A and B are shown apart, each in its own frame.
Chain A
């Protein structure tokens, strides 16, 4: 079997989907798994991932240059792209998965020939085809303002029918990385890796704040040694931070991705706002504290590691769009993350101290701890969030899981086990908790289900009656309303079952 995975965005986006590659390898041990990536991704990662058979590199920047520069032939970009696509077609893949979810990649998937495709593609008439309800879900939940959404890694795992598989980031440490680490001469213990800069100005916390924070961490934890990670292009900017860290033990580490992986494996903790390094840490042994600023949407792309922390400044504009500059008078999401508070959070995380009080005292900071729940998805639990809100979100996600699952013959999905899974997760994360507010909320949700149900029926009946009265029966509209109502009804039935079962588990335990 030959499988091609298309991931045409940036390095971090590709590292984030590595569990899909690993899951496919586990599911199809004899399959050849190739990837089609943006050229710099294959250059940086090619030698670190053993499970990939062949890397196709697409140079997006070059294609753009070919389109924009009048000195280059108008059709060169077209020819280069066509020749690569035709080469891919000649490989006769059995399955092509597009995890890019952009219009560019969708047109390309439309061009490629393959019996089975997964992910967003456009047909020659320009109509979108998702090939899986999970990719449709992703499209419908693209708006940053949605209340809750699955992590991208989970969406892609479920879309590839790998939802139950373990999320594994399999990156092979290299000799080059080992040599770079050796050259740094880091101490064996108490190393904290820091990646202060990102590729997006809006995601940057500011070097002044970094310096203030690290000086405070160092004052409270004199045993700590910092290693400041950066790319060669960031060296000049980082000099400013190095000057500010006067008296703090640190080592600058301008290293390759191989070197960064080796550094992370020797560090007890990574603190970062950078997407690539953050996802790279999934393959390393260190703890992670992520600073999610600007357009960084922790719900979709947060650090996946169990027990990691995600910090962000609470502002109504976050997460903001990637493309536009910050519209606030000052970088408010960064300002809300006070360096002294972040330093205390780092200390608590290192020493395994309680963070709830800290979260309560600093309401302008959102402090979230990540968990992979037994019910098969990642969740960043806001330490300030009330349990009824959390439970509502878990129930909603479990309902989505069932409604988006491929239709299989056989018994009805095990809704009872799902409810037990939620109960178990609740017990685990809230061991001494008082479940009365949760039970009261579940009562409310149950009543709300039946109320919405009768409301929907009324809407449908009214539309039908209107259409008959006016003798202009708009069949396609009625059909779409009916389809929507049917899926709503299915979701409601699953939701109700989960709520009832969960209630009985909670009632029994209390």
Chain B
């Protein structure tokens, strides 16, 4: 199942079911490029979720760039076993679940969604289990009504609506959808002021 190879750069890389989990040429450079395309918020948020551990180079690169705590969601336990020792010096926690919905009950995930976070995909890992990671992403990104209200409740705020709204269509939710909620329209809660402020940025 898991194989170890040496890249041209001399770095150790992993192969799972015959599929490479990092560049065969220079995995460190690949990790730098990966992060360069995903810099939004990484120095502002408290935690960063990474979907897929791969050969670990992207996680290491991220850990060296941000002071945020890193949580890696990985489906395959043997990959965690193989890569974790290389990451022991960094503030990285790995979560191994078999079903994405288990994330909702995970203590660390529940604690994380109370505060600011972002979600970064590792494409090579995601391609091994696309359905699983798609579901994980949906839970964490909160751009559908069920996951959004779950996150909102965990933050301890008054509910967005007294009656749950049914999302129509496949389009992900946006700040414009929040505008229609009772919290933003009618309440005098202080959170409303921040949602109104953000709404001004996309007018």
Contacts and interface: CB of A to CB of B under 8 A. Distances in A.
A120 to B, nearest CB: 12
A124 B118 contact: no
B203 to A, nearest CB: 8
Given A76-B41, A80-B41, A103-B200, A111 B194 contact: yes
B34 to A, nearest CB: 14
B175 A67 contact: yes
Interface stretch (B21-29, B59-67, B88-96, B141-149): B141-149
B46 A73 contact: no
A477 interface: no
B142 A107 contact: no
Nearest to A59: B44
B142 A73 contact: yes
A81 B142 contact: no
Given A67-B175, A74-B141, A74-B142, A80 B45 contact: yes
Interface in A5-40: none
A164 to B, nearest CB: 34
A104 B197 CA distance: 5
B143 A70 contact: yes
B75 interface: no
A62 B172 contact: no
Contacts of A69: 40
Contacts of A68: 174, 202
B188 interface: yes
Contacts, number: 108
Contacts of A85: 194
A75 B197 contact: no
A404 to B, nearest CB: 27
B24 to A, nearest CB: 27
Contact of A83 (B115, B189, B191, B197): B115
A73 B197 contact: no
Contact of B44 (A64, A74, A80): A80
A222 B191 CA distance: 63
Interface string A112-138: 000000000010111000000000000
Interface string B174-203: 110010000000001111111111101110
B198 A124 contact: no
Given A73-B119, A76-B116, A76-B118, A67 B174 contact: yes
A124 B141 contact: no
B174 A124 contact: no
Contacts of B73: none
Nearest to A103: B200
Interface in B113-172: 115-119, 140-143, 148, 151-152, 155, 172
B141 A79 contact: no
Interface string A56-99: 00011011111111111111111111110100000000000000
Interface residues of B, number: 37
A79 to B, nearest CB: 4
Contacts of B190: 111, 124
Interface residues of A, number: 36
B173 interface: yes
Main secondary structure of the interface of A (DSSP, over half): helix
Given A66-B41, A122-B196, A73 B188 contact: no
Given A83-B46, A107-B193, A124-B193, A78 B198 contact: yes
A110 B40 contact: no
Contacts of A74: 141-143, 148, 172-175, 178
Contacts of A199: none
- The interface centre, meaning the residue of B41, B172, B191 with most chain A CB atoms within 10 A of its CB, is B41
Given A73-B117, A73-B118, A67 B151 contact: no
Contact of B172 (A63, A70, A111, A122): A70
Contact of A124 (B41, B46, B143, B192): B192
Contacts of A73: 117-119, 140-143, 151
Contacts of A102: 200
B198 A81 contact: yes
Contacts of A79: 45, 115-117, 155
Interface of B: 40-41, 44-46, 115-119, 140-143, 148, 151-152, 155, 172-175, 178, 188-198, 200-202
10 contacts: A72-B119, A73-B143, A73-B151, A74-B142, A74-B172, A75-B142, A76-B118, A79-B117, A83-B115, A124-B190
Given A68-B202, A75-B151, 7 more contacts: A63-B201, A72-B119, A74-B174, A81-B198, A107-B196, A111-B194, A111-B197
Interface of A: 59-60, 62-83, 85, 102-104, 107-108, 110-111, 122, 124-126
